[in-house]
Chains A and B, each alone.
Chain A
Amino acid sequence: MNSMLQNGNGHKENGNEKSNGNTSLIELREVGKTYHTPAGRFDALKGVSLEIKAGEFVSIIGKSGSGKTTLINLITGIDGPTEGEIFIGDTPVHKLNEGQMAAWRGLNIGIVFQFFQLLPTLTVLENVMLPMGLCNLYTRAERYDRALHLLELVDLAEQADKLPNKLSGGQQQRAAIARAMANDPPIIATDEPTGNLDSRSAEAVMELFEDLVARGKTILMVTHDGDLAKRAKRTIALADGVIIN
């Protein structure tokens, strides 16, 4: 596995070959996000600038309401910035519309959610195969083999034909990690990946992340747990929408 970005044709770009001259994989420039709610205006992020290099294991830490989920949502394209720019490789993701973002994201970012978000009517294997089919990667036979291989990596090969509701929380989260790796994206983004797990499962998940980093993946992990955050190579602390470290 490598950390090269993929464009819509499945061709990989070297994250270092950027027209802006920077070697960062992820770059945020004065990014802000404002929400307008019935309670009034809320600035979730204010003027955030940061760079993340390929292969880094970065934890994003902060209290509830600090803006860490907003930050990772902006990086993954789930949400869009109110101001500023976001580059992932050469791609100005802040300029992509929803459709373009979805297609790009399927190839370049694997997301692991706090509540796993596996599709309930698909087996574990089918959940892992799903992104490959959506992005038209690999042949059908290859998808099957690859999905099984990914499940072996997360120690879930024997649960491949089970529905998600038959698995424990830890198993479901590992399945979600396998799904996130389905299209071999260079970046894995995860928001509170162990928030719903017992300590043993949480440890297994962290070990997986460390293994992925060793294989060259760039991992962004949002957490409120300081101990977990320390296991990342680098920590970005947020408070009240700004980076404080």
Chain B
Amino acid sequence: MALHTRWSKIFKDMWGYRTRSLLVILSIAIGVAAVGMINNAGRIIQRDLYGTFAAGNPAVLEIYVSPFQKDLAKAVQGMREIDFAQARRVESASVLGGNGKWEDIGLNVLPDFNAVQVNRFNLQSGVSTPGTRQMLLERQSADKLGLKVGDEVTIEMADERRYTLTVTGIVHDVYVMPFSLLGEATGYISMDTLEWLGEAPYFNRLDIVVSENKFDKEHVLAVGNLARDRVIEPSGYKVFRVGIPGIGSDPGEHWAQSQIKGFLLILQIMGILAIFLSGGLVINTVSAILAQQIKQIGIMRSVGAVRHQISGMYLVNVLVFSALGLLIAVPLGLLGSWGLVSLAANFLNFDVGPIDLSLKVLLLQLALGLLMPVGVVLIPVFAGTRISVYNAIYQYGLGGEKEGGWIEELLSKFRNLSPPVMLSLRNTFRKKARLAFTIVTLTLAGAMFIAVFSTRASLTRQINEIGRYIAYDAALSIPGGANKRTVEREALRIPGVNLAEGWANAVAVIERTDGSESGEVELVGLPGDSATIDPLLLDGTWLQAGQPQQVVVNDDLLDEEADIRVGSEIMLKVGESKRTYEVVGVLSKHLSGPRIYMDYNAFGKLTGRQNQVDVVRVLANPGAPGSSAQQELIAKQLEERFQNAKLSTSAASTRNTFFEKFTDVFDIILIVLLIMAVLLAIVGGLGLTGTMGMNVLERTREIGVLRAVGASNLAVRLVVVVEGVAVALISWALGAFLSGPSGRALAGAVINAVLKADLSYKYSVSGLFIWLGIVVLIGVVSSLAPAQNAARLRVREVLDYE
């Protein structure tokens, strides 16, 4: 059935101006696809990662206890407040990977692999129960170590004895941090195997699931304390630590949940921004279409069209754009969500189920894709179709525009510019509303682009600030501690090492004035004049020599103990020992959780561990950490020397390895943010292309006159391109202005999401100038096609143009 003529006109107009139509369709598609991608990815992560996590009965509490047997777990499980209590032993060892490199491995021992009740893992291949001299490996560990079922693997225990085990199973465990992040492999062995490895057969951790209010942190910790006070310690065991699994996580949450949430929120905001910019582009383009067709609107009114008929035509036009945009956006968003989820899955070690599109996300995309474009053009369409027949036919384009304002006056002062350049500059400001829309899209794109770079700069600064607390070349932990003098002496024997410091660690609680106790706080004993820490003081001073009653706390502690400030007196309790100290300084957060620093000797008096250190930190050149290669060499030598001296079999860590790990994580985040910023820039570029095309169409007669008075092809092109570049430069300047606050907001959101730390903001000047180059390029590229069209117009054609 033939279409009514006016609908036929709409479709023919769309096809006739295919490029412009495509620009609008793409701009709708990009915004809607971005929203679909982010929402769908969030839903799939919820389903696949969090779903898998929740399905395995995750522990909400970990209690580290002195050596115990599984009866204790049974006793704790007998508490009314607790549903499950599972015993676990985690023993550190080293494993020889397929590449011949030794890696740290955490060996997990469970009472019964056939009846794992908490933190249940899934078998991927092989058998789920390791026999004696057999081991299961977590799949990411197996992959990184280059091992598979059936392979023999060498394990070295703390006493340096090596054993060969057979890998009999590969499992997927979402409850441990992946090897790529932790830097430590995860394996599973039976208690028999542990004994065979020369270790005493006991458990050292309880994984707890509470009966009620599983997600209530206060309640969960209270249950943990109850278990300690009612069952564990009365049974003669010592509790070392009661805590929530993960890093700053809430109970029942995946360890990366809050980081993922924060990151998705940032992407969501950028997606909404893309929608907003798409809307601006749609307004711009539809306004230009109306402007171009003013005469036709007048003619239609002269032959009987009433306003609602004409408005209806253009609204249907936009609906068709929307529908076509959706045809692209929905599959594109699905593809994007697959990409995003795959990236996350690879990083966080989870399996991705079918990449499908939920009805909710589809409806969201449909609503945005259909309602947003129509909604934003309602006013321009109704305003544009209001024009009288007389004005449409006789007044349009005949100086009906308002007289020049302050911009035109300002431009008129530039007398030394060539007329074509002057023409370009004046043309730039001729359609102020259209210019405003175009500039808004490019400005926001620029502000976000520079904000991403500023986020990177801020993250780098943040990491560097954190790095001040690990100002060493290499560090080695000494499980169980060792004599300070021995440790430092051994470390100084390493060629190239000129400084060695032994630090001690303990866990303390703060006894408040009302008699209650704080949560556990890490206590660090160190030399007051330590050269391997360059603390960033937020308030007060560092430890002073000869002042053993002083302590310095970090800002994390103040989040939990808000009454503490510089000058406060606090009572620290370690076991039964209690002493009072004065807080003299507050340090910045540095990924450690609540921490208190005190002079080593004072530490010894409080803890009863005089002359014992738990970690050694070494430097080749005090005040100047070495290169990665130097640090790796020192670390290796440190490991070997301490193994030979039977002091430690741990793997040493280097400062640069710490930076690399964080950089890897942040680079992924920044790449995704940059892709979003580039999408915004594309939308901005599309907007400018559309605007330039419309501007050329509307000034066809003017271009004809230029050609008639001698303008060459190049001159005509330049008029257009200079205008495009002028618009780009204006948007750059405005974007630069906005990029300060936008950068601060984005950087703050990312750092809070990932590091749970406060922002240390750094503006990226390089980002500002990189965007300058890009936006000028956008200005030139967006103008090339319209410029070419302008140059192709023949004088006779354009002077006949109506």
Contacts and interface: CB of A to CB of B under 8 A. Distances in A.
Interface of A: 38, 73, 76-79, 98-99, 102-103, 105-107, 110-111, 113, 115, 117, 119-122, 126, 129-131, 133-135, 140, 144, 179, 182-183
Interface in B1-28: 1-2, 4-6, 8-9, 12-13, 16
B334 to A, nearest CB: 35
Given A78-B389, A78-B390, A117 B307 contact: no
B304 A135 contact: yes
Contacts of A183: 303-304
A110 B304 CA distance: 9
Interface string B285-316: 00000000001100111111111010000000
A122 B306 CA distance: 19
Contacts of B12: 121-122
A133 B303 CA distance: 10
Output the residue of B4, B295, B304, B403 with the most chain A CB within 10 A. B304
Nearest to A182: B303
B18 to A, nearest CB: 12
Contacts of B6: 130, 133-134
B309 A117 contact: no
12 contacts: A78-B390, A98-B386, A99-B307, A105-B302, A110-B303, A113-B393, A119-B300, A121-B12, A122-B8, A122-B9, A134-B304, A183-B303
Nearest to A121: B12
Majority SS at the chain B contact face: helix
B390 A111 contact: no
B802 to A, nearest CB: 5
Given A126-B8, A133-B6, A76 B403 contact: no
Given A130-B5, A144-B2, A103 B306 contact: yes
Contacts of A113: 299, 393
Interface centre among A38, A126, A179, by most B CB within 10 Å? Answer: A126
B180 interface: no
B460 interface: no
A115 B296 CA distance: 12
Contacts of B393: 78, 113, 117
Given A102-B389, A113-B393, 15 more contacts: A98-B301, A98-B307, A102-B302, A103-B304, A111-B303, A120-B296, A121-B9, A122-B12, A126-B8, A130-B303, A134-B304, A134-B306, A144-B2, A182-B303, A183-B303
Contacts of A134: 6, 300, 303-306, 309
The 3 lowest CB-CB distance pairs between A and B, nearest first, are A106-B304, A121-B12, A131-B303
A135 B296 CA distance: 17
Given A73-B390, A117-B295, A126 B303 contact: no
B340 to A, nearest CB: 42
Contacts of B299: 113, 117, 119
A68 B246 CA distance: 87
Nearest to B293: A119
Nearest to B296: A119
Nearest to B299: A117
B388 interface: yes
Contacts of A126: 5, 8-9
B5 A121 contact: no
Nearest to B10: A121
Contacts, number: 91
Most buried by B among A38, A76, A113, A134: A134
Contacts of A106: 303-305
Nearest to B304: A106
A130 B403 contact: no
A110 B302 CA distance: 8
Contacts of B9: 119, 121-122, 126, 130
A85 B390 CA distance: 18
Interface residues of B, number: 30
Given A78-B393, A129-B5, A130-B6, A121 B13 contact: yes
Chain A CB within 10 A, most for which of B8, B299, B394: B299
B8 A102 contact: no
Contacts of B306: 99, 102-103, 134
Nearest to A77: B389
A174 to B, nearest CB: 16
B389 A38 contact: no
Contact of B2 (A78, A103, A130, A140): A140
Contact of B300 (A76, A98, A130, A140): A130
Nearest to A180: B303
Nearest to B4: A133
Nearest to A129: B5
B304 A111 contact: no
Contact of A79 (B1, B300, B390, B403): B390
A203 B189 CA distance: 105
Nearest to A104: B304
B298 to A, nearest CB: 8
Contacts of B802: 115, 117
Nearest to B802: A115
A103 B306 CA distance: 6
Contacts of B303: 105-106, 110-111, 130-131, 134, 179, 182-183
A145 to B, nearest CB: 12
Contacts of A129: 5
A55 B394 CA distance: 29
Nearest to A140: B2
B657 to A, nearest CB: 66
B311 to A, nearest CB: 11
Contacts of A131: 303-304
Contacts of A107: 304
B295 A121 contact: no
A102 B296 CA distance: 14
A111 B5 contact: no
Contacts of B2: 140, 144
A184 to B, nearest CB: 12
A98 B306 CA distance: 8
Contacts of B304: 102-103, 105-107, 131, 134-135, 183
Contacts of B295: 117
Nearest to A98: B388
Nearest to B1: A140
A42 B157 CA distance: 104
Contacts of A130: 5-6, 9, 300, 303
Nearest to A131: B303
Nearest to B386: A98
